[in-house]
Amino acid sequence: MLSAKLQDALNEQMKNEFFSAYLYMAMAGYFEAEDLPGIASWMRVQALEEMTHGEKFFNFITEAAGRTDFRGFDSPQNDFDSPLGVFQVSLEHEKFVTASINKLMDLAKDEGNHAAQIFLQWFVTEQVEEEASFGLILRKLERIGDDGNGLLRLDEELGGRGFVPPAAE
């Protein structure tokens, strides 16, 4: 059973997760246009992961006898000044997602909703990984600087990422 307040916050986070997929596809479009197909592919995989995150919220809300509420969102950023700029924006976005997950967890605790806390625990851990992976690429890009060959090597490396669906719960 979900309170109206918790249901609203879960729906808002479902929107954030689906928006993340939309944002990362926009970033993939930027990298495709920049002839960096490996980084574009990495972003596409990230977008697929975000879709599964959104679906987890959908599943939890419905299994908890709540009601889903799909909300609109603003256009994501499409233009960037550099690959480094993209990863600065994406890391900031992940920090926003982490903060909203933490707020949701605080609400679930305040309401004594144990099921929601257990559900959200997966996201708390996931956000540590998300910030780490975006942060690592950001630091690599900082070191690469204007080295075109370094950027091509990173493109090749990131192109190796495959989509691994999260284990079914």
Is residue 20 a contact point for ligand FEO (CB under 6 A)? yes
| Smaller CB separation from ligand FEO, 130 or 155 | 130
Instruction: In whole angstroms, give the CA distance from residue 11 to residue 61.
Output: 8
Q: 15 or 153, CB closer to ligand FEO?
A: 15
One DSSP character per residue, 66-115 reads --------PPPP---SSHHHHHHHHHHHHHHHHHHHHHHHHHHHHTT-HH
* Shortest Cβ 145–ligand FEO spacing (Å): 26
- The binder of ligand FEO chosen from 97, 107, 120, 158 (CB under 6 A): 97
Confirm or reject binding of residue 56 to ligand FEO (CB under 6 A): no
Residue 131 CB partners (closer than 8 Å, separation 6+): 91, 94, 95, 98
50 binds ligand FEO (CB under 6 A): yes
Q: How far is the CB of 36 from ligand FEO (least distance, A)?
A: 21
Quick one: which of 94, 104, 120, 137 contacts ligand FEO (CB under 6 A)?
94
State which of positions 127-146 bind ligand FEO (CB under 6 A).
130
Structure tokens at 84: 């480094």
Residues forming the site for ligand FEO (CB under 6 A) = 17, 20, 50, 53, 94, 97, 130
